[in-house]
Amino acid sequence: MLDYDISKLTSFKIGGEIKKVYMPESVEEFVQILQKEPEAVVLGNLSNTLISSYGYDGTVIITTKMENVDITGTKITAECGIKGPKLSKIALENHLSGFEFMIGFPGSLGGNIFMNASANNQCISDKIISIKCFDGQSTKDFSKEEMEFSYRHSICMDKKLIVLSAMFELEAADEISIKNKMDEILAFRKSHQPSLALPNCGSVFKNPENNSAGKLLESAGAKNMAQGGVHVWENHANFIINDGTGTSLDVLRLMHKMSEEVEKKYQIKLIPEIRYLGGNNKEEVELCKKLKIK
């Protein structure tokens, strides 16, 4: 697809036109596109990526149509595009525990592995056995240790590895206890995180070591901050909400204000958790450099 308006697919409901977009339906097709378009950016469910309202002049591959799952005993193998909540429900139906945390946020499996997503004391890397990746030349299996997982980090960030699928070993458990855990997680999130009805991109900044970005931001006065069509969420200062008219430049300007206030008060430089795709607007490029957003 050419000149594709991406805004309706992003959880922020922000984003301009992408020059070329592919949405492969099988892993084989995905690998063929990766071989033909080595510079393409791979995205999942766009719930951790701020896409510039000024568009992106390159190629993007969106993975969410690849969502096959295979279950053998307690082992689950899933393709990279499946969304966390769907995978979580499939695990429940098969009486398998370990994916409850994914019920609460919209990331794809590939995005979750790339980001080493976590919530409610569970992490995507906890139950991984192996991951199939494309390294630019060929397809290879990586063990959990080879993925170098740490807080919001995987080796995919350093070595341009594209996640194709992953195999997990879950634990057999009774359906009611799994369902109860999911319900608890959903109830907790309702009071601590904005739902997608308020367009957002999850936590804006990573937690500094032994500290909470939300608490630092709150005490630096971020809850009262707004910029253009976006504002900091009243219930938790590490979320930015698009009120419907927000642009990527509004988000980056607000992030800059938020991080400056924390740095002034605590001499702590907050590092963005959300990622950025764009490059057509000079001020955005400058703000990205200042913020060290990737």
Ligand X SMILES: Cc1cc2nc3c(=O)[nH]c(=O)nc-3n(C[C@H](O)[C@H](O)[C@H](O)COP(=O)(O)OP(=O)(O)OC[C@H]3O[C@@H](n4cnc5c(N)ncnc54)[C@H](O)[C@@H]3O)c2cc1C
CA separation, residue 56 to residues 21, 59, 93, 95, 227 (Å): 11, 8, 40, 43, 23
Please say if 146 is a catalytic residue. Answer: no
- Continuous H helices in the chain: 27-36, 84-93, 109-115, 156-159, 175-192, 213-219, 248-266, 282-291
Closest approach of ligand X to the CB of residue 264, in Å:
27
Site string for ligand X, 197-226 (x = CB under 6 A): ---xxx------------------------
Active-site residue (options: 152, 189, 253, 260) = 152
The reply on whether position 99 binds ligand X by CB under 6 A is no
CA separation, residue 19 to residues 37, 38, 193, 237, 274 (Å): 13, 15, 33, 34, 22
Query: Segment near ligand X (CB under 6 A), from 107-115, 169-177, 228-236, 253-261?
Result: 107-115
The reply on whether position 46 binds ligand X by CB under 6 A is yes
Among 262, 277, 283, 292, residue whose Cα is nearest residue 7: 277
Please say if 273 is a catalytic residue. Answer: yes
Please, which contacts does 149-153 make with residues 24 or more away whose CB atoms are closer than 8 Å? Answer: 149/116, 149/123, 149/125, 150/116, 151/116, 151/206, 151/207, 152/115, 152/116, 152/206, 152/273, 153/116
The reply on whether position 56 binds ligand X by CB under 6 A is no
Identify the residue among 27, 60, 91, 117 touching ligand X (CB under 6 A).
Answer: 117
Query: Segment near ligand X (CB under 6 A), from 21-29, 115-123, 177-185, 204-212?
Result: 115-123
Nearer to ligand X, 45 or 59 (CB): 45
Site string for ligand X, 223-242 (x = CB under 6 A): --------------------
Which residues are identified as catalytic?
A: 152, 203, 273
- Contact residues toward ligand X (CB under 6 A) are 11, 41-49, 63, 80, 105-108, 110-112, 114-115, 117-119, 156, 162-163, 193, 196, 200-202, 275
